[in-house]
Amino acid sequence: MIQVQDRLPEATLHCRGPQGLDGCSIGELTADQRIVLFAVPGAFTPTCSDKHVPGFLALNEEIRARGIDEIVCVSVNDPFVMKFWAEHLGVGGAIRFLSDGNGMFTRSIGMERDMSGGAMGMRSKRYAMIVSDGQVEWLGVDESGLQNASAESVLAALS
């Protein structure tokens, strides 16, 4: 599993834009920026929709005021689902939703989670990280619940 001080591997995440499918490389996303990247096991799932994303919406300005350029949500869901989930939650420009539809990025950082028992297949662990110019500065992972990867935990790490 990826650790603090590791560099993120190159991968392409996707979003559904006005002209179709848009790719975004990890290198482009993190170059000369300090971002929060958080992952959820699944779009439209209870903890993700009711607590995890809303926490980042509520603390968005405070997190950005502490030197964060962008907040990014990643899930092993397709770009269509991510687009409609972002619209459903009303995130606007506060959080960028990106798809790791095939789970390639998730596997490359050792964050895959087998949720076949819950009929969800291979997904991502719940995590949040602060990334500065491609290097992991801070990492919080939750095997269950939402303690270490919450917006509050990110904000505390930025203090």
Positions marked catalytic? 48
Does residue 50 sit in helix, strand or coil? helix
Q: Which residues contact 106 (CB under 8 A, 6 or more apart)?
A: 39, 74, 76, 100, 112, 123, 124
**How many residues comprise the chain?**
159
User: HSE on the CB side for 51, CA within 13 Å?
Assistant: 13
Which residues make Cβ contacts (< 8 Å) with residue 120, sequence separation at least 6? 41, 42
Closest CA to 41 of 115, 105, 141: 115
